[in-house]
Amino acid sequence: MKMNTNTKLMAFVAFLGFATFGYSQSTVDVGKGGTEIKVIDNKGTIKYFQSNNGITQIVNSTTDKTTTTWQLGGTLTADTYIDASGKLFALDGIALETGLASTNAVPGEKTKPTIPATSIVGTGWTLLVRDEATGTTKKMQADNLITGILFEDVRTVNTDGTIVVPIPVAGLPLLNANTEAKLFVFRNGAKLRIGTDFEVVTLGEVQIKTGLPMYIGDVIEVQYLK
């Protein structure tokens, strides 16, 4: 029986498809350690895929091997940045913190919930901040963000208001337009006015201005919020 041209062509195409299918198949076996899968492609090239907090692909052992790593979680092996320029970056599903702020956190503190409590250094919670110079994310104790100074000075001498009376306050910075509202000075419970009754023109010192007599037993209370 003779086959017509169309029948011959269809048979030839089917043969090519079968041959191509058989040629393109890859064999897979698990490499040593159980974490790597060795793949042999249709050219006989050996590739390794490793899935352990990511995927690593290595083409043979030649000098021009290709390595592709994808990682989420685990220990970082290089500086890592997420560029959110022009895009929205958000984290959903974050639990609200209801515990106490940390007072004993240390750099490098382990916070994985799977680690036994005995190996965790520090308690409570800290805040994450960004170092603008390097972009590095760091943590900070809450009292380093919002803390304050409370100082009381009890006068031991009388002054007639003709001289400036300095009140030294450790840690008090020089004030500017943005920090003036953080400072409160009271005399015997009455609030004094900045610029009118007192000034801060020297680091670590409140100066009671002239025109305000001071007497023995007067209590000057200084409150400053950092």
pLDDT in tens, 50-93: 555 455 555 555 555 566 666 666 777 778 888 889 999 888 88
CA 85 to mean position of chain CA atoms: 18
Contact 101, 127 (CB under 8 A): no
**C-alpha separations of 63 from 36, 57, 133 in Å:** 20, 14, 37
d(CA 144, CA 101) in angstroms, rounded, equals: 11
Q: In sequence order, which ranges of 25-173 are alpha helices (DSSP H)?
A: 142-145
pLDDT in tens, 92-137: 888 888 888 888 887 765 555 555 555 566 788 888 888 888 888 8
Nearest to 149 by CA among 99, 223, 90: 223
